Structure 1
C-alpha cells in the first residue's frame, strides 16, 4: 500500500511540476521573486525534453509502482504514458511542446512588461 502511495504521489507531483513549468511564469506577474524558481524549472524541463535528462520523479514513480507489484512507466517516460495519445493525439506532440514554450515565453514577456510598467508608475508617482 505504501509503495503504491509513493507511485501515485510521484505521478501527482509530476503533473503539478508540468503545470508549474507551463503556467508558473504568470505567478511572477504578482510575485516577481517567483520568476527565478520558474526559470530553473523551465530550464530543467527543457533539458529533459531536448537533452533527454532523466527525471527523478519518473524514477521515484517506477520504484514505487514496481515495489507495489505494478508495472512501471515505459522507457518513453511520463509524458508519453499519461499525456501523449491520451490528452492530445500523438502526432501533435511537437505542437504541444511549441505551445508550452510559447506560453512560457508569453508569461516571461508579460512579466517584463508588467514589471516595467510598475517601475514607471512608481517613478512618476513618488510617495
Structure 2
C-alpha cells in the first residue's frame, strides 16, 4: 500500500509541476483555475528560490517511501523515470533562477493570450 501511495504522490507532484508551468493556458476556462494557478505558481517560485524549503509533497513521498521500504528511487518504473524529472541533480542556483524566469515567461504568455481572447470576445 505504501509503495502505491509513494507512486501516486510522485505522479501528483509531477502533475503539480506541469500545472505550474502550463496552467495559465487553462485559466481562461474558469476563474477558479486562475486563482488556484496563481497560488501554485507563487508557491513553486517561493519553494524553488528559497534555500531549505521542502515541498510538502516531497515530505509525503519520503514518508510513504520509507514505510514502503524504499531505500532508493530505483525500485519501479514510475520513480525511476519521474524522480529525475522532478529532482534534478547538480542544478546550480543560477539555473534554478533561469527555470523560474522561464516558467514566469510561459505563464505571462498564457495569461496574455487569455486577455487577448477576452478582449476579442467583448
Common fold: TM-score over 0.5: yes
TM-score by length of 1: 0.67
How far 1:121 sits from its partner (Å)? 4.5
- Tell me if structure 1 keeps the 8 A contact 2:6–2:64: yes
**SS of equivalent to 2:104:** helix
The residue aligned with 1:3 is 2
The residue aligned with 2:71 is 71
The answer on 1:36 being equivalent to 2:38 is: no
Q: Deviations over 1:51-109 (max 9, x none)?
A: 24221111111111111111267xxxxxxx52225xxxx45774465245334334334
- Tell me if structure 2 keeps the 8 A contact 1:4–1:65: yes
The residue aligned with 1:115 is 115
- Tell me if structure 2 keeps the 8 A contact 1:25–1:38: yes
The answer on 1:104 being equivalent to 2:109 is: no
The residue aligned with 2:47 is 48
CA distance in 2, matches of 1:19, 1:117: 23
- Tell me if structure 2 keeps the 8 A contact 1:27–1:34: yes
TM-score by length of 2: 0.70
- Tell me if structure 1 keeps the 8 A contact 2:20–2:41: yes
CA distance in 1, matches of 2:54, 2:61: 13
Point out which structure has higher relative CO (alpha carbons under 8 A, 6+ apart). Answer: 2
Q: State the number of aligned residues.
A: 110
5+ residue gaps, structure 1, are 74-80, 123-127
* Higher-Rg member (1/2): 1
Q: Deviations over 1:15-65 (max 9, x none)?
A: 000000111011124444422111100111111111242211111111111
Aligned-residue CA RMSD in angstroms? 2.8
